[in-house]
Amino acid sequence: MKKLTGSEMGRASKEGFKQIQKIPVVIILENIRSALNTGSVFRTCDAFPVEKIILTGITAQPPHKDILKTALGATESVNWQYYSDIKDCFTELKAKGYKIFAAEQTSQSIAMPDFKPNSDEKLALVFGNEVDGVSNDTLAMCDGAIELPQHGTKHSLNIAVCAGIMIYDLFQKMKAAF
């Protein structure tokens, strides 16, 4: 057994990545404190091609050194946008027909394994602050919430870990549509 090189795996170039079809998913990061987490989400969005990442509020923006440290170049391949006010982001996405879900534990959240997106549906998924999660104001604007069922003593996962699991799951469910 030997490790494969990037060329042996057929990886796209940055320019080629911009051209490949993406799953119709936008990732929204709301007030993420750690730029390392933000960089990790960029890298995940490169691995499982999503349309774009939207950074909001206090979330750091590239070329922040800690984002670049964990993104490993994904800030150059993944499309991204910044909004100081998440309400403006929601207005634009809803006008374009996106359904917006919070990655959050709520009284009405859908367990990720049970979430079945329609093949023609455009989705946005909001990940919240490391301490407080998705804000109540943002949650009130969402079309629903999706949660990862957990069985340990802690009630949450690191945002980059949660985003990685949920983005991979959406990619698996939606990639057959294209």
What's the confidence (pLDDT) of residue 177?
A: 62
Instruction: Give start and end residues of each alpha helix (H) in the chain.
Output: 6-9, 14-19, 35-47, 65-71, 74-77, 86-95, 136-141, 159-174
Q: How many angstroms separate the CA atoms of 27 and 51, rounded?
A: 8
Q: How far apart are CA 54 and CA 83, in angstroms?
A: 7
In this prediction, residue 178 has a pLDDT band, given cuts at 50, 70 and 90, of: low
Per-residue model confidence as pLDDT tens digits over 96-152 = 999 999 999 999 999 999 999 987 899 999 999 999 999 999 999 999 999 999 999
- Overall pTM > 0.85: yes
Higher-confidence position of 111 and 178? 111
- Please report the domains of the chain, with CATH numbers, ordered by start residue: 18-177 (3.40.1280.10)
